[in-house]
Structure 1
Amino acid sequence: MKKYAIGTDVGGSHISCALVDLEKGELVEGTNSEGDVDNKADEDTILKGWADVLSKSLKSINKDELAGIGFGMPGPFEYANGIGRFAQVDKYESLNGVDVASKLKVLLGLDDSTPLRFMNDASAFAVGEAWLGSAADAVKNMSITLGTGFGSAFVDAGIPVVEGDSVPEMGCVWHLPYANGIADDSFSTRWFIKRYKEETGLEVSGARPIAEAATTNPKAADIFTQYGNNMGEFLGPWLKKFDAKVLVIGGNVTGAYNLFGPAFEAALKLQGVNTRITLSSLKEDAAIIGSARMLNSDYWNTIKPIIPLM
């Protein structure tokens, strides 16, 4: 087995990557690379931007040492074949129907035999935390990411669970009904912006200004209490159904966990949920590490059948 893989986290406005030593099971220090991306740009601009960032990490080794590149990629995406399906989602629409894997190989000067592998970005985050992060000591765990979207994944023995009676359809919860919409409406930053305007009449750009106001503004503090209580009410039944031993929380909103965490944990306790709650230890590196793990041949043979289901 070739020793190194590049793990990649593709976001709506950024890309970050690093080398991962598959034998040691660790991120290689000094190989991180990142860049901003305009998701409304044309195909060539986006792919060249991604390739430029990947090339910086790739320079740290000889190409014949590279096992391949893994990507934590937002959907909709044809993960099994590396093809974009970004139709009518207001991001990366120029990549809809594009063979991203083949075009990146050309831009990076990689041999056809070098694999580029893709999984859902929330699943990549969860796999990273289950392999080398906050859930490494738990067989069954769930991870969520709180930010511009509400990411989630269930993991059993390091493998994302995407079907079966113990998890929702697709193995994630963002699309499930909640309140007057879906969960993503209630647990992404959009909810904070909307709720703060309802309470105060003021417009803000995200959750951070509300968190900063919470120390002196009771309405701002109460919004975080509402958020935590609602999320506990929503997640509790799924944590129990899956029998998750650990819940890992990541994403930008975790910086305000002191504001919503007590209400969240209290809501879980009321439901008799015994899942241990922990914040992400890998943070931005979680999806990088998780996506790189797909280049371990034994792991890939196990996970390959579920990739098309993501």
Structure 2
Amino acid sequence: MKNKISIGVDVGGSHISCAAYNLNNRSIIADSISEISLNNQGSKEEIVSAFGGLLRSCIAKINADELVGIGIAMPGPFDYVNGIALLTGENAKFQNLYKENLRLAIQKNLAWEDLPIRFINDATAFAIGEYFSGELKEAKHSLAITLGTGLGSAFLSEGIPVITEDTVPKNGCIWHLPFESGIADDYFSTRGLINRFFDRTGIKTSGVKEIASLSKENKEAKELFMDFGEKLAVFLSPWITKFNVEAIVFGGNISKASYLFDHAMNEKFSEYHFKLKVKYSTLQETAAFVGGAQLLDEEFWLLVKSQLQHM
């Protein structure tokens, strides 16, 4: 059987990375992993050129005749059906791509105009990758959460995103839901932890990693993460119940400090008597590669593509 290879791309704030993926045996081709720095304030020509350079580097590491397409995990707002960027200055990144048809631009840059290029929300790609290759395998109803610059989420039913049903919040997103005096994204994010640590101590920090390192000796830092875990459980619990979540996986930079909030979170979960598997991603951005690349599996694509308009 001829190999069918796709490429999964993960778009970050300061870099883009990708990997080739064997659709026949659902595995990442390890030596194909590629990464390039990206100025998200650059011109559209500069950004498209970066995509092209990255993809050419990856394609050079495989048999190009076996390539069936590219799947890109892209932050929103984005028209995932038509491949058109809708990010504006409000998002403080990629605003120069506004209204740009990224699919056509990449195809033109690669001089490969019939190459299938498909897009999906980055948090959803992470969830799909965890379902096929990570911690959500075999889970009927699962939830993936990314904890980092923002709060990302995706609800899956046997690996397919659930977006419009009344068992999940609007668009399957939780970042915008009310929490305490603001919204969840303000609390369960890097900026939320930085701001609350400053409010408690008057100490300015550069990020979660620094606060985590201080927790060994700083009581306020330790309590900050315990509060984070407990309140995260409280916030998620109604949706875990409503969607009947069996397994949950956390990814993103904050999840790397799980040893500081996992106990408090699970203690609170136990009060709700959930039968819930709680896991932390070992794949991290590799999950997004898998989730993007899996869009080129035609059987899977038929099940997913109708959901794109709601992302």
Structure-1-length-normalised TM-score: 0.97
Contact kept in structure 2, 1:152 and 1:173, CA below 8 Å: yes
Question: Any idea what SS the aligned residue of 2:115 has?
Answer: coil
Q: Distance in 2 between matches of 1:187 and 1:46?
A: 30
How far off its partner does 1:281 sit?
2.9
Comparing 58-67 with 139-148, greater Cα deviation is found at: 58-67
Q: What does 1:5-44 align with in structure 2 at a 5 Å threshold?
A: 5-44=6-45
Question: Any idea what SS the aligned residue of 1:285 has?
Answer: helix
2:249: which partner in 1? 248
1:303: which partner in 2? 304
Q: What does 1:1-310 align with in structure 2 at a 5 Å threshold?
A: 3-87=4-88, 88-110=90-112, 112-310=113-311
Number of residue equivalences: 309
- Give the percent of matched residue pairs that are identical in Structure 1 and Structure 2: 39
Question: Any idea what SS the aligned residue of 2:131 has?
Answer: helix
Q: Return the letter of the residue paired with 1:10.
A: V
Question: Any idea what SS the aligned residue of 1:38 has?
Answer: coil
How far off its partner does 1:180 sit?
1.1
Q: Return the letter of the residue paired with 1:101.
A: R
Q: Distance in 2 between matches of 1:294 and 1:285?
A: 15
Comparing 61-70 with 35-44, greater Cα deviation is found at: 61-70
How far off its partner does 1:109 sit?
2.1
How far off its partner does 1:282 sit?
1.6
Q: Distance in 2 between matches of 1:130 and 1:216?
A: 38
How far off its partner does 1:49 sit?
1.1
How far off its partner does 1:223 sit?
0.4
Q: Distance in 1 between matches of 2:61 and 2:243?
A: 41
C-alpha RMSD over aligned residues: 1.1
Q: Distance in 1 between matches of 2:38 and 2:310?
A: 27
Contact kept in structure 1, 2:32 and 2:62, CA below 8 Å: no
* Structure 1, unpaired ranges of 5+: none
Q: Return the letter of the residue paired with 1:190.
A: R
Q: Distance in 2 between matches of 1:129 and 1:235?
A: 19
Contact kept in structure 1, 2:138 and 2:158, CA below 8 Å: no
Could you list the per-position Cα deviations for residues 240-270 of structure 1 after superposition, in whole angstroms to 9, with x for gaps in the alignment? 1111110001111112111011111111111
Q: Return the letter of the residue paired with 2:101.
A: D
Question: Any idea what SS the aligned residue of 2:118 has?
Answer: strand
Could you list the per-position Cα deviations for residues 170-204 of structure 1 after superposition, in whole angstroms to 9, with x for gaps in the alignment? 01211111111111101000111101111110111
How far off its partner does 1:2 sit?
6.1
Contact kept in structure 1, 2:18 and 2:34, CA below 8 Å: yes
Q: Return the letter of the residue paired with 2:261.
A: F
Contact kept in structure 2, 1:3 and 1:21, CA below 8 Å: yes
Structure-2-length-normalised TM-score: 0.97
Contact kept in structure 2, 1:2 and 1:67, CA below 8 Å: no
Q: Distance in 2 between matches of 1:234 and 1:120?
A: 22
